[in-house]
Amino acid sequence: MTERKVRVRFAPSPTGPLHIGGVRTALYNYLFAKQHGGDLIFRIEDTDSNRFVEGAEEYILESFRWLGIKFDEGVTFGGNCGPYRQSERRDIYKKYVKVLLDSGKAYIAFDTPEELERKRAEVDNFQYDASTRMSMRNSLALSSEEVNNLIESGHQYVVRFLVQPGEKIVVNDIIRGVVTIDSSILDDKVLYKSADELPTYHLANIVDDHLMNISHVIRGEEWLPSAPLHVLLYRAFGWEDTMPQFAHLSLLLKPEGNGKLSKRDGDRLGFPVFPLEWHDPKSGAVSSGFRESDYLPEAVINFLALLGWNPGDDVEMMSMDDLISKFDLSKCSKAGARFDYKKMIWFNHEYILRKSDKEIAELFMPVVEGHGVKTDMCKLEKIVSLMKGRVNFVHELWDACSFYFIAPAEYDEKTVKKRWKENSARQMGELAELLDGLEDFSIENQERVVHEWIEQKGYGMGEIMNAFRLALVGEGKGPQMFDISGLIGKKETVERLQRAINVLA
């Protein structure tokens, strides 16, 4: 048997911002497709018009552009199986609804919501199935004349799938193994509604997966309960031979405690659960996003890839290419994956370290400019190289480095008490003079001259350097002193020394 070409899809419903779990689903689809030289398709499942949210589709696309997940086909990408937006495929679905009706595998039902409600109140655990369907208002229970009359007089109806009880359904899942269930537990799901002439998720999903020649359905655990019905639908259409293989991913769990990850966990513990900031078009509420919270897309991808899968060795840092070659769908765990946001912050730190100083400086430049400071790339790269090891996020560089650009407005009280001694003013005066007289202000030369001076005068290295640091930085932290003076330059160094002498006198 020749291997089937790998074709997978990410098929979101545009009902709001993309949750981080959805991003992981898309990522796994992408990794799997690329690993097998296959295609990733972007399909929009918008048949539930009540849940449609303006702007969601564009948001989802923008999220993937930012993350570097690329599609081969689909909405905005083109391809031979379009249209890829389900709301533009009505006629296709109607044809397949008719196929099921004509072959007796589906039927028309007229029960109104009120009638269904009444039935639920009457019958414990009511389910529309073999045990109840003949007592309902549908084309199985009514004569064809009655059915035609109802349709002609404009009654709305739905089309329901006719589930034969007692059939064995086998769902073969790459992650979960083989699950066998009895069709008797299923209800006759609605496949189509005359009111909006649109199919439901189940029908549209199966028809599209078939017509788009999807080989593997990789999706979240929440869709697992639909799988038996989907298998039955493939059977009803006679498409068993090309039925995709299923892989239902594990849930993302709260960072601590039980239950699945929610936006509330993020709000409470201070991390986003959406890729990009989301502005709700109705309420105007703003939800934070990884991009705006200053996460690097590489860090988000690396972190997400390891939620529910690992390469089986100790390697944690993996580029997209590494992930593509190492990913193994069959090794994904079925147990939920805890969303360890501290690990995500760790990844961000590691990616800042691994990126070139130039790349980080380019990201940092707008932050610096936002503080009203003008500087050049060359200087910024040097500062970044000295300071990037100290931060988890690029924006944190500002607090760590602002002293390079702005003279301290005040001096940390504790440090002053500890480091500014009786002799400090005089010593710093001498140091200012010494440095001011230097032709060669290179780091090496400053270091040599200052060390000689300290030795000659018999001063303590610690007392000088501590007071010098206080004068330049305003507190007791920061990198090597001459790295600082070298970067801020002679004039600024001398001015800061003099200012400290005046203020701390």
DSSP letters for 276-327: S-EE-TTT--EE-BTTTTT--HHHHHHHHHTSS---SSS-----HHHHHHH-
Q: Pick the closer one to ligand GLU by CB: 12 or 272.
A: 12
* Minimum gap (Å) between residue 219 Cβ and ligand GLU: 4
Binding residue (CB under 6 A) for ligand GLU from 66, 223, 234, 453 = 223
Verify binding: residue 13, ligand GLU, rule CB under 6 A.
Answer: yes
DSSP letters for 434-457: HHHT-S---HHHHHHHHHHHHHHH
Q: Pick the closer one to ligand GLU by CB: 21 or 474.
A: 21
Verify binding: residue 17, ligand GLU, rule CB under 6 A.
Answer: no
Binding residue (CB under 6 A) for ligand GLU from 7, 8, 11, 97 = 11
Measured in residues, the chain has a length of: 505
CA 94 to CA 116: how far, in whole Å?
Answer: 25
In the region spanning residues 176 to 205, those forming contacts with ligand GLU, defined by CB under 6 A, are 205
Which segment (10-18, 64-72, 179-187, 253-261) binds ligand GLU by CB under 6 A?
10-18
Q: Pick the closer one to ligand GLU by CB: 12 or 336.
A: 12
In the region spanning residues 26 to 55, those forming contacts with ligand GLU, defined by CB under 6 A, are 45
Instruction: Quote the tokens at residue 168.
Output: 């064995």
Which segment (7-15, 308-316, 350-358, 390-398) binds ligand GLU by CB under 6 A?
7-15
Catalytic residue among 70, 260, 263, 382: 263
Binding residue (CB under 6 A) for ligand GLU from 7, 12, 206, 361 = 12
Q: Which residues, in sequence order, are CB contacts of 468 under 8 Å at separation 6+?
A: 428, 431, 481, 497
Query: Are the C-beta atoms of 433 and 497 separated by less than 8 Å?
Result: no
Cα radius of gyration (the chain): 33
Q: What residues does 41 pair with on adjacent strands?
A: 9, 73
Verify binding: residue 133, ligand GLU, rule CB under 6 A.
Answer: no
Binding residue (CB under 6 A) for ligand GLU from 219, 248, 254, 355 = 219
Query: Are the C-beta atoms of 105 and 162 separated by less than 8 Å?
Result: yes
Is 263 part of the annotated catalytic residue set? yes
Binding-site size, ligand GLU (CB under 6 A) = 7
Q: Pick the closer one to ligand GLU by CB: 222 or 240.
A: 222
208-223: b (≥16 Cβ within 10 Å) or e: bbbebebbbbbbbbeb
Q: What residues does 218 pair with on adjacent strands?
A: 247
Verify binding: residue 298, ligand GLU, rule CB under 6 A.
Answer: no
Query: Are the C-beta atoms of 123 and 132 separated by less than 8 Å?
Result: yes
Query: Are the C-beta atoms of 272 and 294 separated by less than 8 Å?
Result: no
* Minimum gap (Å) between residue 289 Cβ and ligand GLU: 19
Compute φ and ψ for 108, nearest 5 degrees: -95, 135
Verify binding: residue 234, ligand GLU, rule CB under 6 A.
Answer: no
* Minimum gap (Å) between residue 12 Cβ and ligand GLU: 5
* Minimum gap (Å) between residue 222 Cβ and ligand GLU: 8
* Minimum gap (Å) between residue 45 Cβ and ligand GLU: 4
Instruction: Quote the tokens at residue 106.
Output: 């589906």
Q: Pick the closer one to ligand GLU by CB: 11 or 481.
A: 11
Binding site for ligand GLU (CB under 6 A): 11-13, 45, 205, 219, 223
By annotation, the residues acting in catalysis are 263
